[in-house]
Amino acid sequence: MVEFMQQMVNGLSLGAIYALIALGYTMVYGIILLINFAHGDIMMVGAYVGFFSITMLGSNVFVALLFAMLACAALGVLIEKIAYRPLRNSTRIAALITAIGASLFLEYVTIFFLTPEQRVFPAEAFPMHQYQIMGLYISNKDIFIIVLAVVLMVLLQYIVKRTRAGKAMRAVSLDQEAAVLMGISVDKTISFTFALGSALAAAAGVLIGIYYGTINPLMGIIPGLKAFVAAVLGGIGIIPGAMVGGFLMGILETMVSGYGSSMYRDAVAFGVLILILLIKPTGIFGRNESEKV
């Protein structure tokens, strides 16, 4: 039982990271129906910005997080403007292929300039303490990751539900044309969505740096795909769904590596995806919609 609870704790902190990434996928999908393949790579860029602001500027973790989030918000908006906006009215497959292109571009430009080697995330930026509570080992890393993720999620909920920009986001995702008629600038709203999602991904990137201790230019691919699975699990386009899906994925993954084989933990994520898609493609929180001709 103690071991199970221990896996639960590990799963929760990993899940918090997945949830943060999944939120970006879900918001972008909700508003322009695009799987933003480059999202995981934006997270990677966030991790690097965090890394360099700690090592080169000597800033603490919070400043690094802030820098990473600002830089990635700008990057997300830029990618949307250059790559996705011209394709807004073309087929979804064309947009998806562009997203794959954007993803490869970020990965290999990073490799080109920063070499493919992995870098050790400075441990002194976040000195490790381990606490033992009722037989469970909980480190300050776990607490920091979970608390930060929850704070960011609450903040996001506030923005989406209580602010004018959030209202505009919900309106555009519900009916783009009607939103235009109500005087909402669709372009600005979409940019805002990308900025929010990318900032969350950047935070996740820094957290992954802290969690695993190393970063490399291809680190965004697998967590990105898993977070996407989390978003689909919760119901893509639905913000609370992404949070629940993220936590579920994290817990599931640590359970599989804890009790089964860690070699299979990547396959499990895809297995889950295929199962959801076959049983309930709209996800846990999704509603079924019939296809319109």
Give the nearest distance from C-beta 75 to other proteins in angstroms.
Answer: 15
Q: Which stretch binds other proteins (CB under 8 A): 47-55, 138-146, 241-249, 272-280?
A: 272-280
| Part in contact with other proteins (CB under 8 A); list of ranges 5-13, 87-95, 123-131, 173-181 | 87-95
Strands (E), 100-258: 119-120, 130-133, 136-139, 214-215
Stretch of 59-67, 149-157, 191-199, 224-232 contacting other proteins, by CB under 8 A: 224-232
Q: Which is nearer to other proteins, 155 or 267 (CB)?
A: 267
Q: Is 25 in the site for other proteins (CB under 8 A)?
A: no
**154 vs 222, which CB is nearer to other proteins?**
222
Q: Cα separation of 240 and 224, whole Å?
A: 18
Q: How far is the CB of 172 from other proteins (least distance, A)?
A: 19
Give CA–CA dist 192/223, Å, rounded. Answer: 23
Number of residues near other proteins (by CB under 8 A): 45
Distance of CA 240 to the CA centre of its chain: 13
According to CB under 8 A, which one of 232, 233, 239, 249 is a site residue for other proteins? Answer: 232
Question: Rounded to 5 degrees, what angle do the CA atoms 106, 72, 236 make?
Answer: 85
Instruction: Please say which residue, 35 or 202, places its beta carbon nearer to other proteins.
Output: 35
Helix (H) or strand (E) holding 80: none
Q: Which helix (H) or strand (E) holds 122?
A: none
Q: How far apart are CA 184 and CA 48, in angstroms?
A: 35
Report residue 128 as tokens: 């490790």
Nearest distance in Å: CB 269, other proteins? 8
Contacts of 270 (CB under 8 A, 6+ apart): 225, 229
152-164 residues labelled b (16+ CB within 10 A) or e (exposed): bbeebeeebeeee
Q: Which residue has the tokens 């396959």?
A: 267
Could you tell me the smallest distance in angstroms from the CB atom of residue 108 to other proteins?
4
35 touching other proteins, by CB under 8 A: yes
Residues that bind other proteins (CB under 8 A): 34-35, 83, 86-87, 90-98, 100-105, 107-109, 111-112, 116, 225, 228-229, 232, 261, 263-264, 266-267, 269-271, 273-274, 277-278, 281, 291, 293
